[in-house]
A and B are shown apart, each in its own frame.
Chain A
Amino acid sequence: MKLKEIIEKLSLVTLTNVEDKEVSGVFISDMLSDVMSSAETGNIWLTVQTHKNVVSAANLIDIAAVIVTNGKEVPEGTVELANRFHVNILSSPLSSFQLASKLVEAGLK
């Protein structure tokens, strides 16, 4: 499934320029070390973390998109860095659990 299709289906807010990518699954964690060890390229990453290092971890694994849940505000510096390194950052007012349910309903596993 393509990222832009998911954005549309789930009415996700785009905080950066969006580069469409194939989505391979979902990874949920608020720990960057978890992402480094267990996330897979093409995963959508649900987190409440918003600091700049999210961009570094997402870039290391080539995450399809970071979705910041609970409507948390993302600092401008993080958005700027993400745009520069082509990391897609999206936002949702839903909790990680609620959003994960919707991603499953949309066809992701």
Chain B
Amino acid sequence: MKEETCSHTWEMVNVQSGYIVTENCFRCNKTATSFSAGEWPPMEEYREGEHFWNIMEVAQTIRFDLTCKACGKLVPLNELAGLMMCTGCDPKCPVDTLMKEMEKSRIWVFVAFGFFPVDERTQLSQEKIAILEEYFNQRRKSSSSTIRIVSSEKIDDISRCFAEMIRDVGMLSLTPPATE
């Protein structure tokens, strides 16, 4: 089927387990996030040009792409750091307002995050966010509710947001390192 005329049935492909790493530079106080696909999470501080990066948090997560089963279109989602459900912590936030409006119709609002710093990393395009939303709604086909995914750029003040991204925080402490 031709990609242009296809109505797309998405599936998750290229699922890769890894870690989402949050680092802070103690010199300029910049925060950066990245995906690490290694077997072990990075743990040590290091210098990169003018930055002295220190690990603030490491959580297990997955990275994935989407492909259409019918036409084969591939949508790489390398820019996606994670998804977060809006829990309505800031009444001034446009995402909170949207969530309260949609909640009545059983539409749950999720926020798609790219990597930090936002101004230095390519962020998810609206087109990719729409495809991601379509994928999760297709997966929920037997459901009586739907989801809406919006960009993290819609959050009024990220420092006032108390919701958390869907990722596996604290799991690393449950697994002792392998012994030789």
Contacts and interface: CB of A to CB of B under 8 A. Distances in A.
Interface residues of B, number: 29
A86 B85 CA distance: 14
A48 to B, nearest CB: 10
B142 A59 contact: no
B12 A37 contact: yes
A30 B171 contact: yes
Contacts of A98: none
A86 B105 CA distance: 12
B145 A31 contact: no
B140 A62 contact: yes
A22 B144 CA distance: 11
Interface residues of A, number: 23
A60 B85 CA distance: 8
A61 interface: yes
Interface of B: 12, 15, 17, 60-62, 64, 83-85, 87, 106, 108, 110, 136, 139-143, 145, 147, 163-164, 166-169, 171
B142 A24 contact: yes
5 contacts: A41-B143, A52-B87, A56-B110, A60-B136, A60-B147
A90 interface: no
Contacts of B147: 59-60
A57 B64 CA distance: 16
Interface of A: 22, 24, 30-33, 36-37, 40-42, 52-53, 55-57, 59-62, 81, 85-86
A4 B121 CA distance: 47
Nearest to A30: B171
Given A30-B171, A56-B83, A86-B145, 12 more contacts: A32-B168, A33-B17, A33-B60, A37-B62, A41-B139, A42-B142, A52-B164, A57-B166, A59-B108, A62-B142, A85-B108, A86-B106
A42 B144 CA distance: 11
B43 to A, nearest CB: 20
A53 B167 CA distance: 8
Contact of B171 (A24, A31, A85): A31
